[in-house]
Structure 1
């Protein structure tokens, strides 16, 4: 079954994006109907984060989320097989000069990349601009794992580290001139996490961003991808580096990350990764959410 799915992805990647995006959206809406556990998770998350919306509006937002997630899943074949020329045409990068300036100054860089659903296309497109380091979580399905690894490493000399490779290898790579493509906004469990608000809900959040920034002397640069409507492609925005970061307060720095993320999510809530159990880990004594 996995090989058949990969073959389908390969066939679909030849289609124009305007056609592929419509097929992907329909696929996502089908998943909304056929995968009730993930639908339930998304609706719980949206209820916690957007209590001001009516139940009907949250259901509509969830359907929109599944549609655009379906797009991102099928369009992943582009990240795996599309030519460099096509990738450059599909994904525009705004703010690349900011990253170039930091690298020219010899400053290590952390690209703070939240889990918006277009992040795989963004990572592949960014890899065309040089050598980066990222932390890679191996997938249970070995066939998909192989192709995900391929998509993230096929251009230039990308360094993919496993989570158990440790902080030292990551810092060493950054100091050697590789920007870190860093995704710290999921629930990774209680270890190395603290509880800080995310949309007003205590969320187990790893403190890796301020700690890595301090250890490497790195600038933190927002890195946000947006899927454009109608098959118009993607925009990857590299924002202004954060000032006065990190501070001497790890908790305040972690809160700052979540506050910033909330603001970005509100600009395109349908594109955030709501099918993840973001509030799975609870403070002591609090009941489970999912």
Structure 2
């Protein structure tokens, strides 16, 4: 059964990967509007997250941001098959401009490793592909439930030589080793981590469980952190790759200080193009115990 599901999913991705960018984005915008009109669970989560994070928006502004977010997230989902199936050179041709490229040269000139933080903002698959086309790079990932699909995902993401490592002890040791050798590693830093060993830190003023992995990698490797994303341009024109410095303290030994700096770094770039952030993700499901659960009315966080 798993093989059948994987084969079907891979076939769909390969077919979608034959689309031009404008068509894929148009389909994405349509699916986003369907999600809005049908009052889907994604609309509900987006509505909750934006009310928590941007209470300053008027009712009309809030609704517009929810609709826009749903459209952009659906566009990202429709763009992923392109990033996986198109030739790398064609994908790179979508990047019309790079802002902050000088930070890469500064980070690499002394031989230090480079830790790239790519939040769920804009097209993160294109961001990863860009850096793997330039550097010897490893990226942390969570394996899907279907084994055959994992093999496909590793193959398409690693076609420029990028090494995908699981988020287990062996994988983390591999990341540290590469960073110490002066190589590049990439992480999606805005996921909701499970288990102990993490810290609560403010994100848009709301305390939420945040990964301490970033600060641990930086402390153990001495790598330079940068935060980056690919901003979607209007009318199918492509993307602008943006690279920024992280906030001070992100490598601090104190976990609260470090995670506060991490979340501040993410929040800063999200505020640049908030409509392109994946607000459909339940980022606040792990809050300090006893606080109201934002996605389960009448229940508290544990």
* TM-score normalized by the length of structure 1: 0.90
Summarize the Cα distance change of 1:244–1:284 in structure 2 as closer, same or farther, 3 Å threshold: closer
Q: C-alpha offsets along residues 76-97 of structure 1, whole Å, 9 cap, x if unaligned?
A: 1111121122112112443344
* Distance in 1, Cα, partners of 2:64 & 2:216: 39
| Alignment of 1:13 onto 2:17 | yes
Asked if the contact 1:24–1:74 (Cα under 8 Å) also holds between the matched residues in 2, the reply is yes
1:82-93 alignment, distance < 5 Å = 82-92=86-96, 93=98
Q: Is 86-95 or 114-123 further displaced after alignment?
A: 86-95
| Counterpart check, 1:208 vs 2:196 | no
Instruction: Tell me the CA shift for residue 133 of structure 1.
Output: 0.9
Contact 2:247/2:262, CA 8 A, preserved across alignment? no
Distance 2:249 2:117 in 1: 16
Unaligned ranges ≥5, structure 2? 296-302
Shift, 1:6, TM fit: 3.8
Q: Hey, what's the Cα distance between the residues in 2 that align with 1:221 and 1:54?
A: 33
Match of 2:32 among 3, 28, 36: 28
Question: Match of 1:50?
Answer: 54
* Structure 2 length-normalised TM: 0.86
Structure 1 pair 30/151, CA: closer, same or farther in 2 (3 Å)? farther
Q: 1:243 to 1:265 in 2, by over 3 A?
A: closer
CA offset at residue 44 of structure 1? 0.7
- Aligned CA distance change for structure 1 residues 231 and 48 (closer, same or farther; 3 Å): same
Change (3 A) 1:60 1:144: farther
What is the aligned counterpart of 2:270 among 247, 250, 265?
A: 265
Summarize deviations over 1:242-265 as a string: whole Å, max 9, x none. Answer: 666523433222212212222211
- For 1:74 and 1:154, the matched residues in 2 are separated by 20
Match of 1:127 among 129, 132, 139: 132
Q: Give the C-alpha shift of residue 190 in structure 1.
A: 4.4
Query: Following TM superposition, by how much is the alpha carbon of 1:54 offset from its aligned partner in structure 2, in angstroms?
Result: 2.8
SS at match of 2:89: helix
Give the unaligned 5+ runs of structure 1: none
Task: State the 1:217 CA deviation.
Answer: 0.6
